[in-house]
Structure 1
Amino acid sequence: MALVFDCDVLVVGGGIVGLSTAYALTRRAPGTRVTVLEKEHAPARHQTGRNSGVIHSGLYYRPGSLKARYAVRGAAEMVKFCAEWGIPHEVTGKLVVATSREELPRLHALVQRGRENGIPVRELGPAQITEYEPRVRGIAAIQVGTTGICDYGAVAARLAEASGARILYGAEAVAVDRRAWGVAVRTADGRIVRARVLVNCAGLHCDEVARLAGDDPGMRIVPFRGEYYELADPSLVRGLVYPVPDPAFPFLGVHLTRGIDGGVHVGPNAVPALAREGYGWSVVRPRELVGTLAWPGSWAIAREHWRYGAGELRRSLSKRAFTEAVRRMLPVVEESGLRPAAAGVRAQAVLRDGTLVDDFLIREAPRTVHVLNAPSPAATASLPIGRDIAARALAHL
């Protein structure tokens, strides 16, 4: 008796990467039946809808890496996609500002990296900084013209509609049965969905979905919460202002981002979250916390980076400390001028030895594609990433 499939490709996860994959599948292979399972009741409820909305240029990433290739290509495609579909966006450019002489070698290294990635970079002195941002102070900076902003929640919603995929909301994957013929996924509400190929784009839960499928991902998601404030007086900043990042960490530091709505977000810091969707200190899920603490890589991170972590924790618990970090670039800001804003959680893949996976990590198994690390600039680069994942999924068909 012939097997009956509900779809050809089943995508777990309705964030921007999962929806870009669905969009790419139906364009690359018209007629392919695609279903997306999303445990929330709307798309983009977690990482996609809780980031700073920046269209990254690709400045920071190692030449030749997936991040660099995807970001440079993805930034141009995202601007074009937003323009075609009438999604609010703007190519604003940004400044990366050095506030001490110790940061100058790292700033110069960024100039070189940007040029290797084909990104136009202009070097600025103190007087030129104030031409772009009158209230920002620094001893040197670089100006990157291809950085922009958009509404990624609106992008995700448009991808969902334009893909033509069947999207099941409120459908959390809780069991996966993979056989030679394909896969069957059971959702929390008892539905069974049968597909020829499974694509795991579950973000904060991608390692759990991999294990449900019977695969050892070789990593764990360790969630880091990014906490934001917003400027009470958004006129203090014209555009996007970043500090010089520390290359030892995959975080960019506290920065100033004028969003598409005109408000200016300040942040994020990076502190361990006590749940995978732990958007505040009060959100604790014991099973998830025990899983994080049981992973040897978590302790390796703590041993190696405890000083950095202590600083982030201090800025989380003390608004005054957070304000001090901001005042390095924006001296006029006062503690009273910062208002709490919604936090986000980053799904950071960590290897057993404590290595923070810095690039995209995509692994394949029989009839399965697992996206196990999709860090920033995943939203920027979601269109080319989606095509890559779609090509891999179609190859399994």
Structure 2
Amino acid sequence: MRAGSILISGASIAGPSLAYWLNAAGWRTTVVERAGRLRAEGQNIDVRGAAREVLRRMGIEDEVLAANTGEQGTCFVDEKGRVRAAFPASANETGGATAEVEILRGELSRIVAGSTDGGTEYVFGDSITALREDGDGVLVSFAQGPERRFDVVVLAEGMRSRTRGMVFGDEPQIRFLGMYTSYFTIPREPGDVDWWQWFGAVGGRNVGLRPDNTGTIRATLSFLSGPRGYEDLGVEEQKQVLRRVFRDAGWQAPRVLAAMADVPIYFESIGQVRAPSWHRGRVALLGDAAYCASPISGMGTSLALVGAYILGGELTRADSPTEAFAAYERIMRPYVDQAQKLPPGAPRLANPKSNLGLKVFHAAAALASTRVAGAVAAKLFTPPADRIALPDYGSHFPQA
């Protein structure tokens, strides 16, 4: 397939990653992003397995490693802050509750987008309003800019992609996993440590504090719940929900709730995207818009990076967009299927509702942290991030 023009919707990680690979093959790449700038916000994410190899092939692994958050491991604490079980950061590329590469989402996005400097056109503060395909390409209408034509369009948006419905209707199904999570940044205090501290409270609630490399703390408040539509509320209403749910949670919940009052938060329902197909005509889905595996999987960023590499490679060596998209899906689908198989009982198993359940969970976690049970624990904290054979597209990316 000749090097053509592509519009990529979404400037987080998957979108700029795809732009990098297609730039290397001589394509004309444009990324449109609804936000007014590259999003610097975001919480701790990790890069594992095959995605580490993708970073190496992009030439940015060292820069990503240098931006590590410094998280030393994961520990489970009780209401008095006593450590009940501790798991040091992984020393390999795949395993561990705390991976070898832990980085802030905004930092990784900045690094990946930086790798496209000079080769990709970025259009911020705009979004797609219509897609009309004909034999020569896709005519795209925008909320702000004029209509433009592209050979291919890729939607690298989030789990609740608005643009996806223009092409796929209601076909991709979002599977709600019974949990709501909020993320925000709070001031660091003298007693904070460089570990991910996880506190479980009765009622299926948890409070998380994670270190970063900017001198603050990344906080999470998560709780089990049936679907309530909380993700559609305004920010202040979402904060009211969190205050109500966590007012008696204990440990550092009062501190977190107090700090939450003055900062922006991101609030989401935890789910997975199950799409029968990731492409239709000259339009394809990438990353969370196609196959969100949920934060519980530990695979979201890795899927985005690997998916972008494979989609880019197939677009450069196939004879048509349809052939490229089909090959991309054929190679990626088994990898995604493994990523979406969550540990048994997740997320309920790690979020007991009763005091007895919490005691059992802490006892199990303490046992898993011992040397004797370490091999079993390692399997629990090791997502299938390396269970794919990355194709070699070297000859198709002469400028990489």
Q: TM-score, normalised by structure 2?
A: 0.59
- Please report how far the alpha carbon of residue 14 of structure 1 lies from its aligned counterpart in structure 2 after TM superposition: 1.4
CA contact (8 A) 2:44 2:103 kept: yes
1:22 aligns with 2:19: yes
**Corresponding position: 1:177 with 2:148:** no
Q: Which secondary structure state, in structure 2, belongs to the residue aligned with residue 235 of structure 1?
A: coil
Aligned length: 290
Do 1:241 and 1:255's aligned partners in 2 also have CA atoms closer than 8 Å? yes
Opposite residue 261 of structure 1, the aligned amino acid is T
1:264 paired residue among 199, 217, 220: 217
Aligned mates of 1:176, 1:357 — CA distance in 2:
25
Q: CA separation in 2, counterparts of 1:42 and 1:239?
A: 31
Q: 1:55 corresponds to which residue?
A: 46
Note the 1:37-186 alignment, pairs <5 A.
Answer: 37-44=32-39, 49-55=40-46, 71-74=48-51, 81=60, 83-84=62-63, 88-90=67-69, 92-97=71-76, 136-146=81-91, 147=99, 148-163=101-116, 164-186=119-141
1:238 alignment partner, one of 194, 206, 211: 194
SS of the residue 1:14 aligns to: coil
| 1:150 Cα deviation after fit | 2.3
Identity %, equivalent residues: 14
SS of corresponding position for 1:178? strand
Equivalent of 2:244 in 303, 317, 338? 317
Measured after TM superposition, the shift of residue 335 of structure 1 is: 2.5
* Change over 3 Å in CA distance of 1:370–1:179 after alignment to 2: same
How far is 1:243 from its partner? 5.7
Residue in 2 that maps onto 1:213 = 167
Whole-angstrom distance in 2 between the partners of 1:347 and 1:334: 20
Distance in 2 (CA, whole Å) between partners of 1:273 and 1:281 is 15
**1:197-346 correspondence to structure 2 within 5 Å:** 197-203=152-158, 205-206=160-161, 208-213=162-167, 215-220=169-174, 226-228=182-184, 230=186, 233-242=189-198, 253-269=206-222, 280-282=235-237, 315-322=242-249, 324=250, 327=251, 333=252, 335-336=254-255, 339-340=259-260, 341-346=263-268
CA spacing shift, 1:279–1:150, aligned 2, 3 Å? farther
In structure 2, C-alpha distance between the alignment counterparts of 1:236 and 1:212, rounded to whole Å? 46
Letter in structure 2 aligned against 1:88: A
Cα distance in structure 1, aligned partners of 2:53 and 2:72: 13
- Corresponding residue to 1:378 among 278, 300, 306: 300
Q: Distance in 1 between matches of 2:63 and 2:35?
A: 28
The residue identity in structure 2 corresponding to 1:218 is: P
* Alignment CA distance shift 1:279-1:264 (3 Å): farther
What's the RMSD between the two structures over aligned residues? 4.1
**Structure 1 residue matching 2:163: 3-state secondary structure:** helix
Counterpart of 1:366? 281
Structure 1 12/165 Cα, relative in aligned 2: closer, same or farther at 3 Å? same
| Alpha-carbon distance, 1:224 to partner | 5.3
Structure 1 residues 334 and 378: CA distance shift in structure 2, 3 A:
closer
Return the offset for 1:167: 1.2
Aligned equivalents of 1:136 and 1:257: distance in 2? 14
Deviations along 1:318-350, one digit per CA (max 9) or x if unpaired, are: 55334x2xx2xxxxx4724752143114475xx
CA change 1:205–1:139 in 2 (3 A) is closer
Distance 1:360 1:136 in 2: 42
Which amino acid in structure 2 is aligned with residue 34 of structure 1?
T
> Residue 9 of structure 1 aligns with which residue?
6
Aligned residue identity for 1:35: T
3-state SS of paired residue (1:242)? strand
Report what 2:386 is aligned to.
Answer: none
Which sections of structure 1, spanning at least 5 residues, go unmatched? Answer: 57-70, 101-134, 284-311, 328-332, 349-355
Residues 192-221 of structure 1 deviation map (CA, whole Å, 9 limit, x = unaligned): 121111101121552x31221355433259
Aligned amino acid, residue 281 of structure 2? P
Q: Match of 2:166, as an amino acid?
A: L
Structure 2 distance, partners of 1:267, 1:194, is 42
What is residue 389 of structure 2 aligned with on the other side?
none
Give the Cα separation in 2 of the matches to 1:359 and 1:260.
35
- Quote the Cα distance in structure 2 between the aligned partners of 1:11 and 1:183: 12
Give the distance between the partners of 2:173 and 2:308, measured in 1 at CA.
Answer: 22
Structure 2: segments with no counterpart, 5+ residues: 92-98, 322-400
Question: Is the Cα contact below 8 Å between 1:52 and 1:257 reproduced in 2?
Answer: no
Distance in 1 (CA, whole Å) between partners of 2:77 and 2:125 is 46
- In the alignment, residue 230 of structure 1 is paired with which amino acid? I
Q: Deviations over 1:215-256 (max 9, x none)?
A: 5433259795614463652533222233689xxx9xx94322
- CA distance in 2 between counterparts of 1:279 and 1:51 reads 19
Deviation at 1:382, TM superposition (A): 3.7
* One-letter code aligned to 1:186: S
